[in-house]
Amino acid sequence: MDNIGDLGQALAYPWDKWTIFLHPAQKCLVEGRYNGPARVSGSAGTGKTIVALHRAVYLARSRISVHVKIVTTRPICHQLRARILGA
């Protein structure tokens, strides 16, 4: 962000838009090529779960034969399940 106006505009977006937005650096992680498992770590609210979910979708759509395991907290698991099932 170059100025406070851009930040204000970004923060005005609805939560559902934030949950699907990928910063270019995150997109690189999602679409990267790795030799083996990859771990995403960071502080709370940095987009780790969103990156992991986008990565899982990316791999599934690429038809790459891999197993995807996402490890997270129970509250986030319940929230994701509700979003996926539309509950």
The pLDDT confidence band at residue 10, using thresholds 50, 70 and 90, is low
The candidate with the shortest Cα–Cα distance to 48, out of 30, 61, 33, is 30
The domain segmentation of the chain, as residue ranges, is 4-85
- Looking from the CA of 22 toward its CB, the CA atoms found within 13 Å total 16
SS3 (DSSP) at 21: coil
pLDDT tens profile 22-65: 888 889 989 998 887 777 788 887 888 888 888 888 888 887 67
Query: What CA–CA distance (Å, rounded) separates 50 from 42?
Result: 12
pTM of the full predicted structure?
A: 0.65
Residue 70 near residue 52, CB atoms below 8 Å: yes
> Token digits for 56?
């899982």
- Give residue 18's pLDDT: 66
